[in-house]
Amino acid sequence: ILNVEQSPQSLHVQEGDSTNFTCSFPSSNFYALHWYRWETAKSPEALFVMTLNGDEKKKGRISATLNTKEGYSYLYIKGSQPEDSATYLCASYGSGNTGKLIFGQGTTLQVKP
Amino acid sequence: DTEVTQTPKHLVMGMTNKKSLKCEQHMGHRAMYWYKQKAKKPPELMFVYSYEKLSINESVPSRFSPECPNSSLLNLHLHALQPEDSALYLCASSQEAGTRELGDEQFFGPGTRLTVL
C-alpha cells in the first residue's frame, strides 16, 4: 500500500511571509509526483507534475522541488498572499501501470492579511 | 475549453432513490475518473475509464454504477445508497489513457456534494 504523507496538516501565516510544506512518498517504483491547489468550493487545480529527481518547477511565487531517492517533495510559496489560502494536495501513483493517484491528506494554508 | 463540469452541484437523496451524477469535458481527454472525498480526508479513487472502457474499479459497492456513454461524458448512477455514502464526488479527466507512464495531470471538476438521508 502506498502512503503519501503531507505535513503540516495546517498552517497559518501572515501576508508577506514565505512558507513551505512537505510531501513524502515511497521512493521505490516512483513515476511522478503531482501537486494540486484546492480552494474552497472550487475544482482542484494542477500546479506541477514532477518526474525527475532534482526537478525544480516554478509558477509565479510558487515553486516545488523533488527528491525521488529519499521520497520527498517540498512546495514553497514566496511572499504569501491571502489568495494563496487553499488546501495543497500532493499525489503519487499506486502500484501497477495505471493512472491511480494516491493523494496525501493535504496542507491547509491560511494567509492572514 | 479546459474545464470539467459536474452536475448537479448539490444532491440530497433518500436511501431508496435512484439518481445520477454527470460529468463532462471537451478537452479530448481519453481517461476519466470518479473520486470520493469525505471531510478532512484525501480524494479516493473509485473508477477509471480509459477510451470509454472501465479500466479500474476500486472495489466500489454495486450501488454505485459508472457509465461512459461517449468520450466526453461520464455518469455515476446511484441506487440504494447509505448515509455513509454522503461525500463530495469529484470527476477528473486526463489526456492519455489513465496510465502512469506519462504522469499527465488530471483536470478536476468542482464536485457534487451528495447527502444521503
Q: pLDDT, tens digit, for every residue of B39-67?
A: 889 999 999 998 999 988 999 999 999 99
CB A50 within 8 A of CB A73: yes
**Average pLDDT of the residues in B26-32:** 91
* Residue A96 in this model has a pLDDT that exceeds 80: no
E-strand stretches of chain B: 4-7, 10-13, 18-25, 31-37, 44-50, 53-57, 64-70, 73-79, 87-94, 107-108, 112-116
Q: Alpha-carbon distance B10 to A109, whole Å? A: 26
Give contacts of B57 with chain A, Cβ < 8 Å: none
**Average pLDDT of the residues in B72-90:** 96
Are residues B42 and A43, on separate chains, in Cβ contact within 8 Å? Answer: no
Chain B stretch 35-94, residues whose beta carbon is closer than 8 A to a beta carbon of chain A: 40-45, 48, 50, 55-56, 58, 90, 94
Q: A76 Cβ partners below 8 Å, 6+ apart?
A: A18, A19, A20, A62, A63, A64, A65
Grid coordinates representing B80 are 440504494
**Average pLDDT of the residues in A89-110:** 85
| Contacts A–B by Cβ distance under 8 A | 70
CB A46 within 8 A of CB B107: yes
pLDDT at B87: 97
Indicate the residue of B50, B55, B103 with minimum beta-carbon distance to A49. B103
With cut-offs at 50, 70 and 90, classify the pLDDT of residue A97: low
Q: How far is A38 from chain B (nearest CA, A)?
A: 10
The DSSP code for B105 is P
Cβ atoms within 10 Å, residue B17: 14
pLDDT at B65: 97
User: How are beta strands B107-108 and A72-77 bridged, if at all?
Assistant: unpaired
